[in-house]
Structure 1
Amino acid sequence: MAIRGSSLASAIVPLGGPAGLPGQSTYAAWLALGNSGTLADFVAAQKGAPGITQDISAKSSRGHTTVADTNYQILTTDVDVGFTSITVPHIVKLCDVDAYPLGQDLVIGDESGTCSATNTITILVGDGTSDTIPQQSDGTIVLAYPYASVRLRRGAANIWKIV
């Protein structure tokens, strides 16, 4: 929302911000509500319920796999697969899409910056599955430049979707 023609549009706030209204500190208010303890106890009590930061942290620690210069078979527990070194072309084989968690994305990529037209990461549907990647006529995805990545999601039966 733009503020036009308002005195707020050109308001100048002094360095350090405007002075607050006189009153009790938050710590004093906490004590007045019947709590007891030191200022350190008050600060420790300010930790809230788990929220988005904790949720993201928990998810990011789950399923990250680093791959160092080798071929890789995707597991149903993988969420983020990152190549930390690539000196020759590599193949990644996807797990059976119907065994992968519904709604969970899978990211495969180069974290080293060494992926290239020569040293590629080729992603294939799993052996023995009838899985497909409809956006790719041959069911193959080739990453061929530094830091390239692809995000896949479980689609309908036997379908990996590029998202």
Structure 2
Amino acid sequence: MNKIKEKNISPIAYRFFLLQTHYRKQLNFSWEALEAAQNGLKKLQNKVLKLKNENEKIETKKIQADFLKIINDDLNMPEALALIWEAFKDQTIDYNTIIKFDTVLGLDLDQVQEKNIKIPTEVLSLLDQRKTAREKENWSESDRLRDEIKALGFVIKDTSEGQKIF
């Protein structure tokens, strides 16, 4: 565990790494795989934060039933994670559902806060362009840039304090 701490890998990222292999199978450990798991966890946290900020309610009975079926099938965590990623892709999951799932996963997703987001320079550049477009009241360009940022996995909220990105 000391080596993991030295490499700045969070304990939750280590847990996420372990969840990617079924408990009955041999775990193939590598530092690269562990770092990839940490990056994957950050992506998951960003998606959860996005859901939290959108606060959209959608029908999730099917995915909840699928999740329970998978978990009850010999605690198949890799398949459960695959289901979650697919649900994000298909937009068939909401914040409350992912938090319910996290009671099984133990990834502290309800503790995710904005500081966990690392915003790529490409997105920051688009954000600056959008701010300029809004200042010039070029609403169509502003909307186009917002959609482009959304396609990259981020949500923008316009507040009295300016743009917030999640």
TM-based fold match above 0.5: no
- TM-score, structure 1 length as denominator? 0.19
Q: Please say which structure displays the higher CA radius of gyration.
A: 1
User: Which has the larger share of strand?
Assistant: 1
Larger relative contact order, structure 1 or 2 (CA cutoff 8 Å, min sep 6): 2
User: Which has the larger share of helix?
Assistant: 2
